[in-house]
Amino acid sequence: MTLDRRSFFTRSCLAAASMAVGPKWLAAGLFDRRSSSAADTVFVVVQMAGGNDPLNTLVPHSDPVYQAVRPRIRLAPSQTLRVDARYGLHPSLTNLHRYLDSGKLAIVQGVGYPNPDLSHFNSMDYWNRASLVPKATGWLGDTLDQLYASERTPLLHSLAIGSELPPAFESGSVTTPALLNAETFAFPYHAADPADDTAQRAAFPVLLAPVGAANADFVANIGSVLLQDSTAIQTAAASYRPSVLYPDGDLASGLKLVATVISANIGPRLFWVTQGGSYDTHDSQRGLQGQDGLLGELDAAVGAFYEDLRGHGQAERVLLMTWSEFGRRVEENGSAGTDHGAASLLFVLGSRVRGGLFGSPLSLTDLDPDGNLKYTTDFRQVYASILSRWIDTDPVPILNGSYPTISFV
């Protein structure tokens, strides 16, 4: 189901809400929550939900099997962006191709986990929690707990763009705000009556004092976090001047908000944006509604984000990783699409990334019993590398085990 936001916002009181800087009584929150220094590294996750097809992303165009089993959706060598004699990138990925050439982009091939589960839900859960068995917390939530749970005053360390909190951020004690955009992430305005609005905004925080009931107090604490963070984020957004023109779309506007908060340096180190639309391309994979269009949107949005960070002198601090819960079947299906598969690939982008291809090349003939690509790199190796070498924290408790790191960072 898609939410028609236009009709929603014209109907709600938000229609006339303007973006304004929060009142003085909240301004203190901005400083309470400031925590990072300019040197702190930042990690941005972009989720490509639905199961992106790796073989039409990093295309093994010279492999005769690839050309043979995908008669309708294959890309010819000349259509791809050259990587080497064996591989080319999907033609939508012009920015990423440029970053690969300049050594800023790493592509990790064959990412997966043992005994692949072709269910979207289970597979996403594994990736979100960095665990193949049920677990209550997420890997980034665990990271936040490990880094910041001992703080006496909770500060703002993370941000997820979207209406729901990604399970990766579920945590014992550190709250990650989830927001659609800066404009709506504010105490609601009562547009018809400014005096009433002022009185409401003054009275609401009084409601948030603890009452001694665990869940009510939990809600109240979330309310306090919300007021503090919304003020900080709105203040940052009000004065932000992007150094590039971002393309249209939710992914680009989400990344723009991430760049805003990074540049404002108000604390957060972990960010999450989920690309809308689904890579679950069971049919009509080629074309603007399919993977071609989605990769194009991804490339344009990530390209604008990276250039914007460079323009603000922030690119050195930032590492961006994409992920998708699984790859797709080697051969195309009867409806010019591909069915759920196993091993996938992911991108890691950043000024301090060591670029190039990582992970062993995939065999299109040595497949698992379900006929899927065998993974060659456990996704937890990628997490371990980022945790230890970029976020600078011990990956072992978070991943519940030790995984070899990869030298892309």
Partner 1 sequence: MSSNTWNRQRAAHLFRRAGFGARPAELDAAVAAGREEAVDRLLSFQSVSTSSLDARLASLGFDLTTFFADDDPRRYQQFAALQRWWYLRMIYTPRPLEEKLTLFWHNHFATSWNKVDNAPLLYAQNQLFRSLAIGRFRDLLLGIARDSAMLFYLDNNTNVKESIQENWGRELLELFTMGVNRYTQQDVRAAAAAFTGWTNQPDPPYAFVFDASEHDFGDKTFLGQSGPFDGTDVIEILSRRPETAEFVTTKLARFFLGFPPRRTLGRRLSDVFLSSGGSIRSVVRVILLSEDFDESADRCDQVKSPTELLVGALKHFDTETNAAPLLDYAPLVGQSLFLPPNVAGWPAWTAGSRRWINTGSYLWRLYFANDVAAARPGADGMSWDHRLYFPASIRTADELIDWLAERLNMLPPAPQLRRALHDYLAQMGPFRWNPDEIADRWGRGAARLMLSSPQYQVQ
Positions that interact with partner 1 (CB under 8 A): 1, 3-4, 7-8, 11-14, 121, 136, 162-165, 175-180, 184-185, 187-188, 190, 192-193, 195-196, 198-200, 202-204, 206-209, 211, 213-220, 222-223, 225-226, 229-230
**Least CB distance to partner 1 at residue 178 (A):** 4
Q: Which is nearer to partner 1, 105 or 156 (CB)?
A: 156
Q: Specify whether the CB–CB gap between 320 and 350 falls below 8 A.
A: yes
Q: Which is nearer to partner 1, 64 or 334 (CB)?
A: 334
Which residue type sits at 245? L
- Residues 6 or more apart whose CB falls under 8 angstroms from that of 155 comprise 32, 33, 34, 35, 148, 267
Q: Specify whether the CB–CB gap between 247 and 262 falls below 8 A.
A: no
From 384, 379, 318, select the one nearest 353 (Cα to Cα).
318
What are the φ/ψ torsions at residue 17 (nearest 5 degrees)? -70, 135
**Least CB distance to partner 1 at residue 168 (A):** 13
Q: Which is nearer to partner 1, 118 or 244 (CB)?
A: 118
Q: Which is nearer to partner 1, 85 or 133 (CB)?
A: 133
- DSSP labels, 11-72: HSGGGGPPP-PPPHHHHHHHHHT----TTS-EEEEEE-TT---STTTEE-TT-HHHHHH-TT
Q: Which is nearer to partner 1, 19 or 222 (CB)?
A: 222
Dist. CA 291–CA 9, nearest whole Å: 30
**Least CB distance to partner 1 at residue 317 (A):** 24
**Least CB distance to partner 1 at residue 125 (A):** 9
**Least CB distance to partner 1 at residue 62 (A):** 37
**Least CB distance to partner 1 at residue 118 (A):** 11
**Least CB distance to partner 1 at residue 343 (A):** 23
Q: Which is nearer to partner 1, 70 or 201 (CB)?
A: 201
Q: Which helix (H) or strand (E) holds 205?
A: helix 194-207
Token duo for residue 325: 């819960």
Helices 250-264, 291-311: axis angle to 10 degrees equals 20
Q: Which is nearer to partner 1, 12 or 79 (CB)?
A: 12
- DSSP labels, 115-156: S----HHHHHHHHHHT-SS--SS-HHHHHHHHHHTT-SS---
- For 324-368, the three-class secondary structure string (H helix, E strand, C coil) is CCCCECCCCCCCCCCCECCCEEEEEECCCCCCEEECCCCCCCCEC
**Least CB distance to partner 1 at residue 53 (A):** 21
Helix (H, G, I), strand (E, B) or coil at 321: strand
Helix (H, G, I), strand (E, B) or coil at 239: helix
Dist. CA 384–CA 321, nearest whole Å: 13
**Least CB distance to partner 1 at residue 135 (A):** 11
Q: Which is nearer to partner 1, 4 or 394 (CB)?
A: 4
Q: Which is nearer to partner 1, 21 or 216 (CB)?
A: 216
Token duo for residue 143: 């990271």
Q: Which is nearer to partner 1, 31 or 218 (CB)?
A: 218
**Least CB distance to partner 1 at residue 43 (A):** 20
- DSSP label of 303: H
